[in-house]
Amino acid sequence: MIESVELATAQDTEALGARIGAQLSAGDVVLLSGPLGAGKTVLAKGIGRGLGVAGPITSPTFVIAREHDPVPGGRGVPLVHVDAYRLGGAAELDDLDLDTDLSEAAVVVEWGEGMAERLSREHLLIRLTRRDDDSRLAEISRVEVPA
């Protein structure tokens, strides 16, 4: 575990995303895990802001994936935001028919555990859990995919 962060409000969740997004480079993969309504899309929105890409970043549930181009002043890296909730399996990840080369983008995947591991040898995993008081806990770790 790299870090565990208490998130009292949605703004805190977005700010954590922005801090992570500002450190991402082309080829980086981030998996966002957590139950329905945990705050994965809010986190992705922050990642887009920190990375410096055109918005708006919204829930891609019905489109599977959205591509966001870099804006001036950012990291110069596009963002591919995937919602794997309705993907049938890992193989479908290869069939998304995106214009963006994934190795040249930062890739953020909601519901990606068990599916997105094939995208990269290692990824950042952010697990969100919802507390009784409605605050969230983010647990950040770096996962190496076994060969």
Question: What, of ligand ATP, Mg ion, none, does residue 74 touch, CB below 5 to 8 Å by kind?
Answer: none
At 106, the amino acid letter reads A
| Interface positions, 6-25, toward ligand ATP (CB under 6 A) | 7, 9-10, 12-13
Is 136 one of the binding residues for ligand ATP (CB under 6 A)?
yes
Using CA atoms, how far apart are residues 64 and 122, in angstroms rounded to an integer?
22
Complete edge-to-edge strand list for the sheet that includes strand 3-7: 3-7, 136-144, 122-130, 29-33, 106-110, 79-83, 65-68
DSSP designation for 99: S
What residue ranges bind Mg ion (CB under 5 A)? Answer: 40-41, 59
Cβ distance to ligand ATP smaller for residue 93 or 109: 109
The interface partner of residue 13, options being Mg ion, ligand ATP, none and the CB cut-off 5 to 8 Å by kind, is ligand ATP
Q: Select from ligand ATP, Mg ion, none the partner in contact with residue 39, using the beta carbon and a kind-dependent cut-off of 5 to 8 Å.
A: ligand ATP
Residue from 37, 76, 88, 114 touching ligand ATP (CB under 6 A): that is: 37
DSSP H helical segments within 1-147, as ranges?
A: 10-21, 40-51, 90-93
